[in-house]
Amino acid sequence: MTMRITDATLIRTVLGDIAGLEGRLSSTQARLSSGKQLTQPSDDPYATGRALGLRADLAATRQHGANVDEASSWADVTDNALSGISDVVSRARELLVRGATDTVGASARIAIAEEIDQLASGAKDQANAAYDGRYVLAGTAVHTPPYTPGSDVFGGDTTAMLREIGPNTTIRVNQSAGDILGSGTAAADGKLLDVLRTISAHLRSGVPADQAALGSSDLQRLDATADALGVLRAQTGAVANRLSLAKDRLGQSEQTTVTALSNVEDADLAKTLVDFSTQQAAYEAALKAGARLVQPSLLDFLR
């Protein structure tokens, strides 16, 4: 049996078709105006899950970037302080070599000893270098000055301070001043302050044995602290290098994630525009056909 088409059927079909096309046009329009392929999870649940994951990656990458920046500043301040201490050691070596020569008189030795004492204070000042109100060479006791005037006791600790520079990747950024300068006056720990104290005492004593020690064992010990300092500076430099590499890697990773996120979330403008034009043409055709179909009836042809 052929289908009997009534006016109601006709109107309903025309309206249904137009409404369907309008719905499609409206969602295409929403994609065009927002520039997003995904406007709500039901558009594509799997892609939404992926978009959320990529957004999380992006946020983490940016935070890691901020961590690296902060760690770099920390490493810079540490390196400056170590470089200052290194200058102190060089100057002390010059003075020691001069003081060890027999031609220097007792009063001149005392003058040199005075300068050595000043250098020891200078080294402590350098060790008290701070970044953003925190002592960089104090271990994790960042609010305790590593050295106070008149005391050679190290106030900080040697605990490592880590920064997260990638997923499950941390890097130690701090050095402890106690490792170079030593702590306290009692023990002969062979660290810089101890060495400088010994040199100063030997310069002042005037005993021939002490004088002889200046040119031999004291010089060796001072060179040993210089070597230890060199190792620490090399470590700090290596950390700075690693941070700079991490910075590059994070930058690339951010770029890649942004691109991937855009692929998942953003609308392909060219394709969407073509879709829009096609749907618009279909919509206009449906309107035109509907108008032609609904209007005439037998009434128009009866007298």
Nearer to other proteins, 19 or 207 (CB): 19
Least distance to other proteins from the beta carbon of 196, Å? 27
Structure tokens at 103: 């031609």
Q: How far is the CB of 220 from other proteins (least distance, A)?
A: 35
Q: Is 9 in the site for other proteins (CB under 8 A)?
A: yes
DSSP category for residue 140: T
Residue 121 found at the interface with other proteins (CB under 8 A): no
> Least separation, in Å, of the C-beta of 40 and other proteins?
6
Which is it for the CA torsion 39, 45, 46, 48, positive or negative?
positive
> With CB under 8 A as the contact rule, which of the stretches 62-70, 86-94, 199-207, 221-229 interacts with other proteins?
62-70
Separation of alpha carbons 158 and 232, rounded Å: 14
Binders of other proteins among residues 133 to 172 (CB under 8 A) are 133-134, 138-144, 157, 159, 161-164, 167-168, 170
Question: Is residue 116 within 8 Å of residue 199, measured between CB atoms?
Answer: yes
**DSSP E strand stretches across the chain:** 130-131, 134-135, 162-166, 169-172
Nearer to other proteins, 9 or 101 (CB): 9
Tell me if 128 sits within 8 A of 110, measured CB to CB. Answer: no
Q: Interface with other proteins includes 303 (CB under 8 A)?
A: no
Binding of other proteins by 271 (CB under 8 A) = no
The DSSP H or E segment spanning 135 is strand 134-135
SS3 3: coil
HSE on the CB side for 204, CA within 13 Å?
11
Can you give the binding site for other proteins, defined by CB under 8 A? 3-9, 12-13, 16, 38, 40-46, 48-49, 51-53, 55-56, 59-60, 62-64, 66-67, 70-71, 132-134, 138-144, 157, 159, 161-164, 167-168, 170, 265, 297-299, 302
